[in-house]
Amino acid sequence: MALDNASAMWVPVCCGRVMRCNMFRQAGGGAYAALVCTLCNKNITLEQEPLATANNFGEGSTVLSLIGSPKPPKTERRKSFEEAGPDDPTL
């Protein structure tokens, strides 16, 4: 699969670091994932949905490309905006 270098992706960040992504298989054949901050242990559960249901989330919903790694880099992330931290909920 070729990558389009001009495209953007979202990187989950908490406490200035990329969040860890753990994926799990369910007995029924489904899967889910959890984004975990290795510093504060905050976690976000991601449930798998068919792409066809994207319209069920309301007007203006966007499907995001997300990268997840079980071993994210340990380097600090630079801030996007001077006035906002990487965990600012208003971004």
Q: Is residue 35 within 8 Å of 43, Cβ to Cβ?
A: yes
44: confidence class by pLDDT, cuts 50, 70, 90: very high
Residue range 7-22: mean pLDDT, rounded:
86
DSSP 31: E
59 vs 41, which has greater pLDDT?
41
Dump strand ranges (E) for 1-91: 13-14, 17-18, 20-25, 31-36, 43-47
84 vs 78, which has greater pLDDT?
78
Give me the pLDDT at residue 90, please.
Answer: 46
Residue range 26-50: mean pLDDT, rounded:
89
